[in-house]
Amino acid sequence: MSRPTPVRVRAAAQGIGAQLVAWRKLQGLTAAQLSERAGIARGTLRRIETGDPGVSLEAFLGVARALGILEAIVTATDPYETDLGRARADEVLPKRVRS
């Protein structure tokens, strides 16, 4: 039996899904075109766009790549792009991890 998805996680997934729909529409792409470019099934794209948090990370990143926003997502999750991450880098992670 699987655990229920936390409310905040589901809300974040739905928000991200809605933002991906907006990116797709801004680029004038249909769902069929985007799913083909991302290398995923149309149903998988539908699950991502409606905020299903159970979709694979690979599928999500494929959509981000196809929309041209993959690098922005990588940068957004980089702790060294934050003041806290830069301030604590030397004291938290060994050098071999930061290379």
CATH number at residue 24: 1.10.260.40
Identify whether 1 is part of a domain: no
Identify whether 14 is part of a domain: yes
pLDDT tens per residue across span 33-84: 999 999 999 999 999 999 999 999 999 999 999 999 999 999 999 998 988 8
pLDDT of 98 strictly over 60: no
Whole-angstrom Cα distance, residue 22 to residue 26? 6
Whole-angstrom Cα distance, residue 76 to residue 91? 22
Identify whether 2 is part of a domain: no
Identify whether 85 is part of a domain: yes
Identify whether 92 is part of a domain: yes
Identify whether 33 is part of a domain: yes
Question: What is the span of the domain harbouring residue 91?
Answer: 7-98
User: pTM of the entire structure?
Assistant: 0.84
Identify whether 81 is part of a domain: yes
Tally the domains of the chain.
Answer: 1
Identify whether 65 is part of a domain: yes
